[in-house]
Amino acid sequence: MLLSAAMFEPTHCALLCPFKAVTEFAEVNSLETAVQTGIFLTLFVGLVVVLPVLTKKRTQRAFFCPFGAFQSLFNKVNVFDIRIDRSYSGGDPLRTIDQGGYRVVVHQPVWRRWPLERRDSFVQLTWRPVSALPARISDEIDLDGDGQPDLRAAFDVPRDPEAGLRVDVTPLTPRVQPMTGVGKQSLSCLIARVNDSIVLRVPLRSR
């Protein structure tokens, strides 16, 4: 770091970064580039392949890269926090309902933040694993854990992972909006297969 500051050049990256071997591999046309290539390849094998396998840690970033130290330092004092908007993540998991051979994860409701927002409030439900689901799902779901089901969700589970899904949601309490034959209607009203899960987003009435 001191050498980089004195020379106003990223000397660590130019001479000691193992990722140069796979990102900016220079043409070997002189003794200097031949030495650099040998260093890059040796460091790559040692710090990126061998040591991470043995230590179960990202050795280069954890112990040798100065930029890793900068990031660790500034993460402690950074006043900003980067998070995925809950409209896309679906909200944090709230609780899990065991249905025998499969589970239903109930997420925290995602409410509209301002009146002119273009999406409705919704709650996300996740059925997993798909491989354990019956051919037809018809589950009553208690959203808030008060012992009273809030909705009934019914949909077929085709074995073809590319097949489209359609869902019917019957409200059992006033907070839930109905869905009839809905596929991927909007960000807050949809059903979709995601890896080994089926994700359902049910629109909610405003609080």
**The total number of structural domains that make up the chain:** 2
Same domain as 115, residue 67: no
Same domain as 73, residue 107: no
Considering 51, 77, 103, which residue would you say is the last residue of a domain?
Answer: 77
> Which pLDDT score, from 0 to 100, does residue 116 have?
73
Same domain as 93, residue 9: no
Q: Is pLDDT of 16 > 80? A: no
Q: Is pLDDT of 76 > 80? A: no
What is the tens place of the pLDDT at every residue in 19-43?
665 666 667 778 877 887 787 778 7
Same domain as 184, residue 123: yes
Same domain as 41, residue 24: yes
Q: Is residue 200 a contact partner of residue 153, using CB atoms and an 8 Å limit?
A: yes
- Cα–Cα distance for residue pair 103/125, rounded to 1 Å: 10
Considering 77, 97, 127, which residue would you say is the last residue of a domain?
Answer: 77
Same domain as 141, residue 101: yes
Same domain as 59, residue 94: no
Residue 17, H or E segment: none
Same domain as 73, residue 92: no
> Which pLDDT score, from 0 to 100, does residue 174 have?
94
Please give the residue range of the domain that contains residue 35. 2-77
Per the model's pLDDT, the better-predicted residue between 78 and 56 turns out to be: 56
Tokens at residue 72, please?
């660790």
Q: Model confidence at 184, in pLDDT bands (50, 70, 90)?
A: very high
Cα dist from 156 to 111, 182, 194, whole Å = 28, 12, 15
Compute the mean pLDDT over every residue in the chain, rounded to the nearest whole number: 84
